Amino acid sequence: MPHPLLTPRRILWTLSALVALTLLIWALRPAPVRVNTATVASAPFVDSVTEEGRTRLRDTWHVSAPITGYLLRVALEVGDDVDEGQVLFRLEPSPAPALDARSREQAKDALQASRARLQAAQANLETATAERRFAEAEYLRYLRLHGRSLVSTADLEHRESLRDRQRALERAAASSVEASRFEVESARAMLAVTSGQRSGTDQPVLEVAAPVSGVVLERFRCCEGTVEAGQPILEIGRLADMEVLVDLLSMDAVRLQSGMKVRITGWGGTALSGTVRRIEPAGFTRTSALGVDEQRVPVVIDFAEETDPAALGLGTGFRVEVEFLIWQGDDVLQIPTSALFRDDGRWAAYVVEDDRARLRQLEIGRQSGLASQVLSGIEEGARVVTHPGDALTDGAAVTSEE
C-alpha cells in the first residue's frame, strides 16, 4: 500500500520544484568570461629599438662668391656631377651705376672743364719749354764769355741757376699735362656710363672651381645678377659619404654602443645593414606630436661597406626606419607582452587551466615590442590570456579563443 504522502500529485510537484530550483541556480551562476589566449612557446627573439631617421651626407661644401661682382648664369643644375677643379660659375666686375639727367649734364661739364685744363697745361708746357731753351742758350753764351774772361763767375752761376730753374718748371708743366690727361679720361669714363649695363669690351672674369668631386645638392643662385662676397651659390657633396641620423630617446640611447648592428628599412626597398658609428654626447629637447617634451640623442649610422645607397636610389634627406639590434637569441621562451600586468609589484599573467583562469607570478627578462622573454614562472605550451580585463580574477571560469 503506497505511503499517503507519496501520491502522484505530490511527486509531480516535487519534481517540478527541483527542476525550477536547478534552472534558477543555473541562471544565477556567473557566466564564463570570454578571453583570447596565446600559447607560450620558444622561438627566435630580438630585443630591438625602432625609430625613424633620415639620410644625410657626412660632409658638404657650400661654394660662395669670393668677391662682390656680377654673377654669370649658373649652368649646373641639382643632381649634376662635378669633378674637382671643374668651373662651377663665373664672376665679372660689377657694372657701374646708371646716371640721371642731372648727373649726366654735370659729367659733360666736368669733361669740358678737364679738356680746358689740359689745353692750358699744354700751353704752359710750351712756354716752359721755350724758356728752358732760352735759358740753356744764355748759359752757353755766358760760358764762352767766361772762358774769355769777359764775364764774372757770379754772372755765369746766375745763368746756370736760371737754366736749372727753367728745366724744373718744364718738368712741372709736363706733369701738369699728364695729370690733365688723366682727368679728361676719368671725366670721359664717367660720362660713358649710361644705363648701368656691362661694357661690351673684354673684362677680367673670375672662375670659381669645385673643391672636390661630387654632385650638386642645391643651387642657391641660377640667374645673372650682382652678388655680395660670401653669398652661397652652390652646395656640393659626395653621395658615397652618405649616413643616417636618428634622433633616439635618451632612455633607448643609453642601451646602444658603437659598432652595434642595425637594420635599415622603410625606404622603399629591401632591408639594408649598417652599424652605429657615433652616439652624440649631448641631447636636446623635442616636443612630440602629443605635446610631450622628449629628450632626444642624435645617433649616427654608417651603411655596410658592400652597400651603395646612391646606386639604390637613396639621396640626402630621405626618410628611413632604423632597427637597433640590442640582443637576439635563437631559442627563447617568450610570452605576448599584452598578457602581462603588474601584481604586487611583480609581473603576472593569467594561465588557462581546465577552463579556469589561474594567476601566475612571472620573472620577465628582455622586452621587445609584442613579445617578452620569460625567465621563470611558466612552462612552454601554457595558454595565457592576452589583454586581461578587470572582470577577470583568479579562478574565474573562462571560455577562450586561441
pLDDT means per 10 residues, the chain with 402 residues, are 61 74 64 83 88 93 91 92 93 73 78 88 90 89 85 86 90 90 82 55 81 92 90 92 94 91 92 94 90 93 91 91 89 90 90 88 86 90 87 81 66
Q: Domain check: are 221 and 352 in the same one?
A: no
Is the separation of the CB atoms in 274 and 258 below 8 Å? no
352 lies in some domain:
yes
Distance CA 62, CA 211 (A): 10
H or E segment and range at residue 285: strand 284-287
Q: CATH number of the domain at 207, please.
A: 2.40.50.100
pLDDT of residue 267: 92
Q: Report pLDDT for 321.
A: 95
Q: What is the rounded distance in angstroms from the CA atom of residue 106 to the CA atom of residue 103?
A: 5
Residues 6+ apart with CB under 8 A from 151: 142, 145
Quote the cell numbers at residue 388.
586581461
* Residues whose CB is less than 8 angstroms from the CB of residue 307 and which lie 6 or more positions away in sequence, other chains included: 272, 273, 274
Rounded to a whole number of angstroms, the distance between the first and last alpha carbons of the chain is: 61
Would the pTM count as exceeding 0.75?
no
According to the model, what pLDDT value does residue 231 have?
A: 93
Q: Are strands 383-386 and 371-376 parallel, antiparallel or unpaired?
A: unpaired
| Residue 91: all three cell numbers together | 664672376
- pLDDT, position 195: 45
The pLDDT score that the predictor gives to residue 232 is 94
Which of 386, 399, 402, 401 has its CA nearest to residue 355?
A: 399
Give me the amino acid identity at 111.
Answer: L
In whole angstroms, give the CA distance from residue 300 to residue 282: 13
The strand pairing partners of 279, in sequence order, are 299
- Statement to judge: residues 230 and 255 lie in one domain: no
Q: Which domain holds residue 175?
A: 101-192
What's the total number of domains in the chain? 3
Residue 332 within any structural domain of the chain: yes
Q: Domain with 313 in it: what CATH number?
A: 2.40.30.170
Residue 376 pairs in a beta bridge with 363
Q: Are 38 and 386 in contact (CB under 8 A)?
A: yes
At residue 88, the pLDDT reads 93
Using the 3D structure, point to which of 159, 192, 225 is the last residue of a domain. Answer: 192
150-168 core/surface letters (b: 16 or more CB in 10 A; e: else): ebeeeebeebbebbeebbe
Q: E-strand spans in 23-96? A: 33-39, 41-57, 60-64, 69-71, 81-82, 87-92
